[in-house]
Chain A
Amino acid sequence: MKDFNLENRRFVIGGVGIAIVLIYTIRLFTLQLLSDDYKKNADSNAFLKKIEYPSRGSVYDRNGKLMVYNQPAYDIMVVMNEARGHLDTLEFCSALGMTKAEFIKRMSDIKDRNKNPGYSRFTQQLFKSLLSDKEFSVFREKMFRFPGFYVQKRSIRQYEYPYAAHVLGDVGEVSNADIEEDDYYQPGDYIGKLGVEKAYEKQLRGEKGVQILLRDAHGRIQGSYQDGKFDKRPVAGKDLTLSIDVKLQALAERMLQGKIGSVVAIEPSTGEVLALVSSPTYDPRTLVGRMRSKTHRALSRNVWKPLLNRAIMGQYPPGSTFKTTQALTYLTEGIITPSTMFPCNHGFSYHGLHVGCHSHPSPLNLIDAISTSCNGYFCWGLYYMMSNRIKYKNVEDAMNVWRDYMVSMGFGYKLGIDLPGEKRGLIPNSSFYDKAYHGSWNGLTVISIAIGQGEVNLTPLQIANLGATIANRGYYYVPHVVRKVQYEPLDTTYMRRHRTMASERAYRAVIAGMRSSALKGSSKALGHLPFTVCGKTGTAQNRGQDHSVFMGFAPMNKPKIAIAVYVENGGFGADFAVPIAGVLFEQYINGKLSPSAMKQADELQKRRIAYGSRNR
């Protein structure tokens, strides 16, 4: 019966068994020990990390007035599996103030995986977002009758004042780019979009907490993982204290109504921005909650570009306010002394080139030149500097020295304010002109930069910072709108002095000129104020009506405030910019307005400039 040949076949069969077990062991080895992909996958599968949102930090003005805070809002969530069939639709719709058709459409949208990719009928799905307290209170009373509907508490930003929209900014839902950049965010999170909300996002947002729950393959919650041992409480965001004075800000915004322009006020001794206005502006309270996207769309389509923060993004010719920088340069470089006289017969005329000027006594010295804002004087100064071959090898060399002075005063580059989107303006250098004029240029070619025209462009912030630099007699702190972050020291960037290249002696001469301007010169409307104002007007030429500009500070000794006012197409500096600055000086230094100033403010508020409907 025994067949030894066949008996050997047991080795084949045994070999098959051993081979199977061996292959499976190798497979187990690769699955369990060689790759931790599966482990990671398992983690995300079994745990539901429930995010707990921290409250976002509040924002106060420099005097401790609450400006931005959080208001509770309510998202209505629905679990389809529990909601089916037991709902009195009519009552539900009336509680939420919607029609039955809307209800049916919303429910089918939720179930549509194209529109709602994360849909599961076992988990909470967003039914209606950001209900206000009032809307929710109606719903809450009847909620027990709507099985499957839940409430998720959220919060929306609320603004105490309709002012400072450009400084405060807003929050909105994160974009895909935000999520890519920072993996802190998940779809549906909120993030600062503009202003300090964006610049101080990391401080304001706090830290999300997490609750680790166990769930099954249907997404149903099974319980808390290890009794919450690994849960994390959310950490509330830090509060911000702005350097903005909300009264000053409000007043400035009021006076810029109906005009396009900017006001920037800086405390020279610290670099703190007291007011930062860009007009036209908008009410920050409209960019909140469910209205946000609609309002935002309307604002971004508006031809006046109310979303543009002109105070730091507008790049304008500084006009005659720029003459102060020229005086400082010429004095320090020894091109002129305070007593140097230049002629001016209705302007600067040389080799067939003419730069016009208004009528005033001629020749005149530096202080009178600043006071009356004489174009000729500064053109001569620049001409002598550019053609000085004793100090400078050639015109390029002279130009670059000039450029270095300008840069040291904070022009041509971003100052570094703590707001997003700042522009750098433009200060030309020699290679700029080499390119523009193919190497053939001289002091006369570029003469208009001496009076703040031509290629020179500054932002209103840079003009205000110029005022602060002069007030400080030669240094500035980087302007900033946040004075204090809760529990945090101020960034050292804002505590370092930046010295300019100009000498203190030069500053004294320029201040004397600016004081003279306020007393009897182009800004003499400020002479009556009960403190010593120093100022410089500007009338910046451009294609249309001139821009009305003012830059100044007060009081002369121990200055408390430096201001730049820029009103597009406002005509002479004295027309709009000077009176606006005067009211602001009074408000900030006296803390209140005199009846006449109040009247003036009302008048300024009412005055409109006809801009036409051209896209800006």
Chain B
Amino acid sequence: MARVTDKQPSVLRSLDWWTIGIYIALLIFGWISVCGASYTYGDTDIFSLSTRSGMQIVWIGTSLFLGLVILLLDDKFYDTFSYVIYGIFLVLLFLTIFNPHEIKGSRSWLVLGPLRLQPAEFAKFATALAISKLMGSYGFNIHRWKDFTAASAVVVLPLLFIVAQKETGSALVYLSFFLMFYREGMPGSVLFTGLAMVIYFVLGIKYENVMLFDTQTSVGKFIVLLLVQIFSAVLINVYCKDKKKMLIVLYSCLGVTLICFLFSVYVIPSFDIVWVQLIICLVLIGYLFYNWLRTHLSSYFFILAFTIGSIVFFYSADYVLNNVMEPHQRVRINVLLGLDEDISGAGYNVHQSEIAIGSGGLQGKGFLNGTQTKLKFVPEQDTDFIFCTVGEEEGFLGSAGVLCLFLALVLRLMYLAERQPFAFGRIYGYCVLGIFLFHLFINVGMVLGLTPVIGIPLPFFSYGGSSLWGFTLLLFIFLRIDAGRNLVRT
């Protein structure tokens, strides 16, 4: 009974006001940016509900109300109903696939009278709750295949539904859950493998048509195969603790490659070293297989899998890019890798956003003075490309400040997650910070021309009710869980 009576003050007292402060600061900054981005010339009333800036106030107000409601609910509620919530959203996502209304080529919007909602934005918190519940339950062990597969399925299911809605960008956000998996004990080698794949892909495709010193060797393939060999050698050292074998593999691979290279430069000019490298890789695979049979160490098997997987991945990625992907997807990737500099075509958005940001200088042009964003040079300027407005109107100081605010939020969330007494809270916390970090990474990166143009919003900045509500739900549920950390549960 005592718990019930002092429940209200205890929530406010143990609430993390630092996070609330950062949240409010981001909302204010975000609203200013939406004003700048959606302001049309000659329009004076930024508070009018007929303007985007006026509507954004409505979204902010309702979000704050939503946050308050979340804080008032019992923290046990989220734990208890996590599977139910997840189930509801899964059904909703599934139904949305058959949504007849297409908006900008995407079926992800549900139109309910004046409201347009994106279930994908809300499914994030539902998925986070479900995965926290699953992984926080007694006896869950991520190293067990069955458990890991179950956890992955919780993440991949909504991902697939969203891909089916033609919202690839929103779907990719679900990959951020793997950051939480890593924290919870997923082997680092999985993350490393993921990273290695990205490196193969980027280097291999970007330099595929560059030739090595006038020989017939493609620089892209050459580098990727060399990296596969080097990675395998290093993995031998890390996982099998066998420095001698690493050096044997390293020296023989590099030595043979060097000899072939010199051979092709000075003796037979029309000689493709890639074939030799493939033979070296085959020998390497045989060597790893031999060691596995001899020592029965499973590490050798995994390294063997990594080596084979790397080569298969690289060649199949090449095949997919050239033969499977649709032209517009290929163009996006080419633009990102700097292969296609068609400024009026696919690179237009990125180029215009770079111009807008670059024109901001140190201090920016000031509130509502950004000519680039105001005059609609930047498409999607108040949604996905909102960071342009920050860069143009607030300059380097403002945009670096916004980045620092986001970093502070992520680090603060990490601190809060680590102080959770139960796995459920900690896992949910890492889900939240992972999602924020991923949005920040992709959204700001794409505006700055560093990451692919994937249409996902910048949390608290991009115009729109769905995303703002979604992020508020995500954050405030965690704050509510955190506020209840000191309560003794029965």
Contacts and interface: CB of A to CB of B under 8 A. Distances in A.
B452 interface: no
B371 A214 contact: yes
B355 A41 contact: yes
B424 to A, nearest CB: 11
Contact of A24 (B352, B372, B395, B444): B444
B359 A42 contact: yes
Interface string A27-38: 111011101011
Given A20-B440, A31-B354, A31-B448, A13 B183 contact: yes
Given A20-B441, A42-B359, A214-B375, A27 B404 contact: no
Nearest to A17: B410
B255 to A, nearest CB: 34
B400 A38 contact: no
B77 interface: no
A223 interface: yes
A70 B376 CA distance: 41
A223 B371 CA distance: 12
Contacts of A33: 361-362, 396
B341 to A, nearest CB: 15
B179 A32 contact: no
B184 interface: yes
Interface in B167-214: 179, 182-185
A223 B352 contact: no
A23 B361 CA distance: 18
Contacts of B266: none
A24 B396 contact: no
B391 A32 contact: yes
Contacts of A218: 376
Given A25-B400, A45-B355, A39 B448 contact: no
Nearest to A11: B414
A24 B445 contact: yes
B28 interface: no
B450 A27 contact: yes
Contacts of A18: 407
Contact of A10 (B42, B414, B450): B414
B406 A217 contact: no
A88 interface: no
Contacts of A20: 437, 440-441, 445
Contacts of A89: none
B369 to A, nearest CB: 10
A27 B361 contact: no
Contacts of B437: 16-17, 20
Nearest to A42: B359
Interface string B379-391: 1000000000001
A187 to B, nearest CB: 20
A598 interface: no
B41 interface: yes
A38 B362 contact: no
A138 interface: no
A28 B399 contact: yes
B377 A45 contact: yes
A31 B450 CA distance: 12
A29 B361 CA distance: 9
Contacts of A14: 410-411, 414
B311 interface: no
Contacts of B69: none
Contacts of A28: 357, 391, 396, 399-400, 403, 448
Contact of B448 (A24, A46, A216): A24
Interface in B272-316: none
Interface string A353-376: 000000000000000000000000
A229 to B, nearest CB: 14
Contacts of A43: 359
A43 to B, nearest CB: 8
A217 B448 contact: no
B456 interface: no
Nearest to B365: A42
Interface in A51-110: none
A17 B407 contact: yes
Given A14-B411, A20-B441, A28-B396, A38 B354 contact: yes
Contacts of A222: 41-42, 375
A9 B396 contact: no
B372 A25 contact: no
B356 A42 contact: yes
B360 interface: yes
B377 A35 contact: no
Label chain A's interface by main secondary structure: helix
Nearest to B413: A17
A7 interface: yes
B182 A21 contact: no
B361 A45 contact: no
A298 interface: no
Contacts of A10: 183, 414, 418
Contact of A13 (B357, B406, B414): B414
Interface in A103-142: none
B376 A217 contact: yes
Contact of B360 (A32, A37, A45, A215): A32
Contact of A9 (B41, B182, B441, B448): B182
A513 to B, nearest CB: 78
A6 B355 contact: no
B54 interface: no
Interface string B421-451: 0010000001001000100110011001010
B358 interface: yes
A1 interface: yes
A21 B404 contact: yes
Given A3-B185, A32-B395, A223-B42, A27 B358 contact: no
B358 A39 contact: yes
B184 A6 contact: yes
Given A13-B183, A216-B376, A32 B357 contact: yes
Contact of A21 (B407, B418, B430): B407
Nearest to A9: B183
A33 B360 CA distance: 9
A35 B358 contact: yes
B42 A17 contact: no
A29 B396 contact: yes
Interface string B45-67: 00000000000000000000000
A216 B375 contact: yes
Contacts of A7: 418
A533 B286 CA distance: 116
A44 to B, nearest CB: 10
A58 B433 CA distance: 75
Contacts of B414: 10, 13-14
Contacts of A42: 355-356, 358-359, 371-372
A6 to B, nearest CB: 5
A37 B354 CA distance: 11
Given A32-B361, A38-B357, A45-B355, A217 B375 contact: yes
B418 A25 contact: no
Nearest to A222: B41
B182 A17 contact: no
Contacts of A47: 371
A218 B356 CA distance: 16
25 contacts: A9-B183, A13-B179, A13-B430, A13-B433, A17-B411, A17-B433, A18-B407, A20-B441, A20-B445, A23-B450, A25-B403, A27-B448, A28-B391, A29-B400, A31-B391, A32-B361, A32-B391, A35-B358, A42-B358, A42-B359, A42-B371, A46-B372, A46-B377, A214-B41, A217-B377
Q: Which 7 A-B residue pairings sit nearest by Cβ, starting from the closest?
A: A38-B358, A42-B359, A46-B371, A222-B41, A216-B375, A32-B396, A21-B407
Interface of B: 41-42, 179, 182-185, 352, 354-362, 371-372, 375-377, 379, 391, 395-396, 399-400, 403-404, 406-407, 410-411, 414, 418, 423, 430, 433, 437, 440-441, 444-445, 448, 450
Given A20-B440, A46-B372, 4 more contacts: A9-B182, A31-B354, A42-B371, A45-B352
